[in-house]
Amino acid sequence: MMNDQEMIEAFLEAFPFCRNAYDEHMGKYGELLQHVFYPEVISNPLIELLERKTDDPVINAYTCFVERMWQEGDESVRNVVDVTILERLSDDEKVWNRFGKYISDEFKNYINTEWIRNNIAISGIAPLK
């Protein structure tokens, strides 16, 4: 399992254009605040892309990395996926359904059978198809 430091290193390797955002974040907070940083560099840009497009390699890159965080991350990293990234993506039905087209059946099954059922904050969210 990758901890938050290992995951941020993997993120910056996969998305080197986010290095400046990371440096600014560290300068402002002095430490990695995952629930602040990842929405800025993953959730918000991914949502913007999913609102406008249905086929884009950048969407695939973001969704693959979110899935990697879920698969390879330790408890704190997975918490960011559950509480910060997935909750935000599920706010808009169109975005949510488009997101579902990019993820594996395994991740989709987790979302539909565990995440939705066990998350009081998102009652009423439709399962991904």
Query: Based on the structure, what is the number of domains in the chain?
Result: 1
pTM value? 0.93
pLDDT in tens, the chain (129 residues): 999 999 999 999 999 999 999 999 999 999 999 999 999 999 999 999 999 987 889 999 999 999 999 999 999 999 999 999 999 999 999 999 999 999 999 999 999 999 998 887 776 788 898
Q: 125 in a domain, yes or no?
A: no
Which pLDDT value is given to residue 126? 85
Residue 122 has what pLDDT?
74
Residue 11 to residue 1: CA distance in whole angstroms:
15
- Decide if 60 contacts 46 (C-beta within 8 A): no
Compute the C-alpha angle 8/12/18, nearest 5°: 115
Burial classification of residue 117, based on how many CB atoms lie within 10 Å of its CB (0-12 exposed, 13-18 middle, 19 or more buried): exposed
pLDDT at 97: 94
Is 128 among the domain residues? no
pLDDT at 81: 97
Report yes or no on 22 lying in a domain: yes
In a domain, 98, yes or no: yes
Supply the pLDDT for residue 95.
95
Is residue 27 domain-resident?
A: yes
SS3 of 81, please?
A: helix
pLDDT at 55: 82
Is residue 2 helix, strand or coil? strand
Range of the domain at 82: 4-118
